[in-house]
Amino acid sequence: MRSRTHRGTAVALAAASTLFLAAGCGDADGGKGSSQQGKTQAKAGLVTVKDLPGSGWTADPTAGTADPGPVDLQIGTAAKAVCQPMLDAFVGRGDGPQAKAHATADYVKGDHGPQMHNAVSLYDPSGARQILGANLDFGACKTFSGTLHSQKVDYRASQLKVPAVGEGARGVRLTAKENSSEHDTQIDIAATRVGGTVVTVVQHSHEAPDQAAFEQAFRKSVERASVMILRSSGASGVFSVFSVMR
């Protein structure tokens, strides 16, 4: 997981989210051309600064250009196996479904404001369903411990209500605290799918989160993914955004 400004253990979490677009854009020919096409299509589902409400949001200069893929979104290892899905940020483990293409965008609000992470990855439809169907046991994982980058972290987890867009939208709120830190980090995760596309947006904050921007980014990313699916499949007519933006 790439490190970013003031992320530490919990903040790395903020990278949690992924828009998985599998419909009509896999590696059908197994060649470099199809791989690049998938990457381009995945990028088309990402939000931009202009999509975020209010002022102060800019591209995160600490994000860097290297993108190791969905594994970058994983938050660490839970001491209790039942709590691991909370830290997998709807991308699963290495032995689960593999993304065919992946793209990310990172934004930050001011010098000390929240950070937003949006990602788009292409899976096949069954893989997207498996990812979104992860068992989240909030009862057993109200509090639990784990490790990230060899640092011990204490977590609290609760279900988070998110906009009901796409198919099976789910939300998780994590509060994470490194033993070496005096401050908690709040991580809000929203994920859904549009057919084989899984959309994920993550916001992490040390102080006040921007709930309006978080929800708008989620809605807009689903909308962009829907449009991208239509274009990549050559479809016309009214399937569109109306079926996913309910």
**pLDDT band, residue 115 (cuts 50/70/90):** very high
Report if residue 203 sits inside a domain. yes
What's the number of domains the chain is made of? Answer: 1
Report if residue 103 sits inside a domain. yes
Report if residue 54 sits inside a domain. yes
81-114 burial code (b ≥16 CB/10 A, e <16): eebbbbbbbbbbeeeebebbbbbbbbbbbeeebb
Report if residue 202 sits inside a domain. yes
Range of the domain at 191: 8-243
**Tokens encoding 213:** 């921007």
Q: What is the pLDDT of residue 219?
A: 95
Per DSSP, the three-state class of 214 is: helix
Residue 13 has pLDDT above 50, yes or no: no
Report if residue 2 sits inside a domain. no
Neighbours of 195 (CB within 10 A): 20
148-172 residue pLDDT tens: 888 899 999 999 999 999 988 999 9
| Residue partners of 218: CB distance under 8 A and separation at least 6 | 162, 163, 165, 190, 192, 199, 201
Report if residue 1 sits inside a domain. no
Q: Is-above-0.85 flag for pTM?
A: no
Report if residue 118 sits inside a domain. yes
What CATH number is attached to the domain comprising 168? 3.40.1000.70
Report if residue 165 sits inside a domain. yes
Tell me the percentage of the chain whose pLDDT exceeds 70.
Answer: 73
Q: What is the pLDDT of residue 244?
A: 42
- Burial class of residue 66, CB neighbours in 10 A (0-12, 13-18, 19+): exposed
